[in-house]
A and B are shown apart, each in its own frame.
Chain A
Amino acid sequence: MFPSNWPKSRRMKDSKQMTKDEFKMTNGRPAALRARVPLSFGLRHSAFLVLLSPLLLHADPPRLPLPQEDRTNGKHTLAAVERLKPLTVACAARIESPLGRAICTATIVGEDGYVLIKASEVPEVHKTRIKFSDGRSADLREVHRETRLDLLLAQAVGITGLRAVSFGGAHSLGLGQWLCSVADAGKETRIGIVSAKFRRIPGEGAAMGIRMDAKASKDGKGVRIVGIASESPAEAAGLQEDDVLITIAGEKVGAQDRVYDIVRKRQPGEIIDIHYLRKDKEESCRVRLASRSKVLNNWEGEDFANGGVSLRSDNFPEVLQHDIPLLPADMGGPVATLEGKVVGINIARVDRVTTFALPVEAFWTEAQLWIKADRHPPKAVLAQ
Chain B
Amino acid sequence: MRTSFHLLLLTFLLSWQASAAEQRQSNEKPPKTDLSELLKIQSDVQKLLPRVRQALVAIQSGDGTASGVIISADGLMLTAAHVPNDPGKDMKVILEDGTVTTAKSLGLDKTTDAALARLKDRGKPWPFVNLSREVAKAQPGEWCFALGHPGGFDKARGPVLRVGRIIKQTANSLHSDCVLMGGDSGGPLFNFNGEVIGIHSQIWEGRDQNVHVSMAPFLRSWEAMQKSQVIKTWGTGAGGYLGVATVMNDRLDLEVADVIDASPALEAGIRAGDVILSVNGEAMTDQQQFSATVKARAAGDTLKLRLRTHDKERDVSVQLAQKPQDEGQ
The judgment on whether A and B are partners is yes
CA distance A73 to B163 in the complex (A): 11
Q: Which of B236-252 contact A (CB under 8 A)?
A: 238-239, 241-248, 250, 252
CA distance A158 to B238 in the complex (A): 67
Given that A62-B169, A71-B167, A79-B33 are known contacts, is A175 also in contact with B286, CB under 8 Å in the complex? no
Q: Which residue of B lies closest to A302 (CB)?
A: B3
B76 at the interface (CB under 8 A from A): no
Q: Which of B250-309 contact A (CB under 8 A)?
A: 250, 252, 257-258, 260, 285-288, 290-292, 294-295
| Contact call B260/A28, Cβ cutoff below 8 A | yes
CA distance A21 to B291 in the complex (A): 5
CA distance A270 to B2 in the complex (A): 30
Min C-beta distance of A364 to chain B, whole Å:
23
Min C-beta distance of A61 to chain B, whole Å:
9
Choose among B24, B245, B252 the residue that contacts A9 (Cβ–Cβ < 8 A): B252
A24 at the interface (CB under 8 A from B): yes
B99 at the interface (CB under 8 A from A): no
| Contact call A18/B287, Cβ cutoff below 8 A | yes
| Contact call A199/B156, Cβ cutoff below 8 A | yes
Min C-beta distance of A81 to chain B, whole Å:
8
| Contact call A71/B165, Cβ cutoff below 8 A | yes
Q: C-beta contact mask, A280-316 vs B, less than 8 Å → 1, else 0? A: 0000000000000000000000111111000000000
| Contact call B140/A55, Cβ cutoff below 8 A | no
| Contact call A325/B179, Cβ cutoff below 8 A | yes
B316 at the interface (CB under 8 A from A): no
A8 at the interface (CB under 8 A from B): yes
Choose among A62, A73, A200, A303 the residue that contacts B182 (Cβ–Cβ < 8 A): A303
Min C-beta distance of B311 to chain A, whole Å:
18
Q: Which of A183-213 contact B (CB under 8 A)?
A: 191-197, 199-200
B151 at the interface (CB under 8 A from A): yes
Residues of A within 8 A of B205 (CB): 304-305
Query: Which of A2, A13, A176 counts the most chain B CB atoms within 10 A?
Result: A176
Residues of A within 8 A of B35 (CB): 80-81, 338
| Contact call A321/B157, Cβ cutoff below 8 A | yes
Min C-beta distance of A250 to chain B, whole Å:
37
CA distance A22 to B327 in the complex (A): 9
| Contact call A9/B285, Cβ cutoff below 8 A | yes
Residues of A within 8 A of B243 (CB): 20-21
CA distance A76 to B33 in the complex (A): 6
A144 at the interface (CB under 8 A from B): no
B141 at the interface (CB under 8 A from A): yes
CA distance A175 to B158 in the complex (A): 11
Q: C-beta contact mask, B125-160 vs A, less than 8 Å → 1, else 0? A: 000000000111101110001000011000011111
| Contact call A19/B245, Cβ cutoff below 8 A | yes
| Chain B contact patch, size range | 35 or more
| Contact call A53/B179, Cβ cutoff below 8 A | no
Query: Which of A16, A19, A47 counts the most chain B CB atoms within 10 A?
Result: A19
CA distance A77 to B206 in the complex (A): 19
A353 at the interface (CB under 8 A from B): yes
Min C-beta distance of A383 to chain B, whole Å:
53
Min C-beta distance of B35 to chain A, whole Å:
5
A365 at the interface (CB under 8 A from B): no
A235 at the interface (CB under 8 A from B): no
CA distance A294 to B171 in the complex (A): 37
Residues of A within 8 A of B206 (CB): 305
| Contact call A306/B181, Cβ cutoff below 8 A | yes
Q: Which residue of A lies closest to B34 (CB)?
A: A80
CA distance A304 to B207 in the complex (A): 12
A64 at the interface (CB under 8 A from B): yes
| Contact call A54/B24, Cβ cutoff below 8 A | no
Choose among A2, A191, A196 the residue that contacts B158 (Cβ–Cβ < 8 A): A196
Q: Which of B13-21, B82-90, B102-110, B113-121 contacts A (4 or more CB under 8 A)?
A: B13-21
| Contact call B285/A65, Cβ cutoff below 8 A | no
Given that A28-B258, A50-B288, A63-B140 are known contacts, is A69 also in contact with B207, CB under 8 Å in the complex? no
Choose among A29, A64, A192, A354 the residue that contacts B25 (Cβ–Cβ < 8 A): A64
Given that A18-B247, A28-B258, A196-B160 are known contacts, is A70 also in contact with B287, CB under 8 Å in the complex? no
| Contact call A66/B140, Cβ cutoff below 8 A | yes
A23 at the interface (CB under 8 A from B): yes
CA distance A62 to B171 in the complex (A): 9
Q: Which of A74-126 contact B (CB under 8 A)?
A: 76-81
| Contact call B21/A302, Cβ cutoff below 8 A | no
Choose among A17, A176, A194 the residue that contacts B248 (Cβ–Cβ < 8 A): A17
CA distance A77 to B247 in the complex (A): 50
| Contact call B295/A21, Cβ cutoff below 8 A | yes
| Contact call A20/B181, Cβ cutoff below 8 A | no
Q: C-beta contact mask, A1-45 vs B, less than 8 Å → 1, else 0? A: 010010011001100111111111100111000000000000000
A266 at the interface (CB under 8 A from B): no
| Contact call B42/A177, Cβ cutoff below 8 A | yes
| Contact call B323/A323, Cβ cutoff below 8 A | no
Q: Can you report 26 A-B residue pairs in the complex whose CB atoms are below 8 A from each other?
A: A12-B286, A18-B245, A18-B257, A21-B291, A22-B294, A23-B323, A24-B327, A25-B245, A50-B292, A53-B171, A54-B171, A54-B216, A57-B135, A58-B136, A62-B169, A66-B168, A76-B32, A80-B37, A176-B49, A178-B41, A200-B156, A304-B7, A321-B160, A323-B161, A351-B150, A353-B181
Q: Which residues of A are in contact with B by a Cβ distance under 8 Å?
A: 2, 5, 8-9, 12-13, 16-25, 28-30, 47, 50-55, 57-58, 60, 62-73, 76-81, 174-178, 191-197, 199-200, 302-307, 321, 323, 325, 338, 351-354
**Apart from A21-B245, A62-B170: 7 A-B pairs, beta carbons within 8 A:** A17-B247, A21-B241, A64-B23, A67-B21, A80-B37, A177-B42, A321-B160
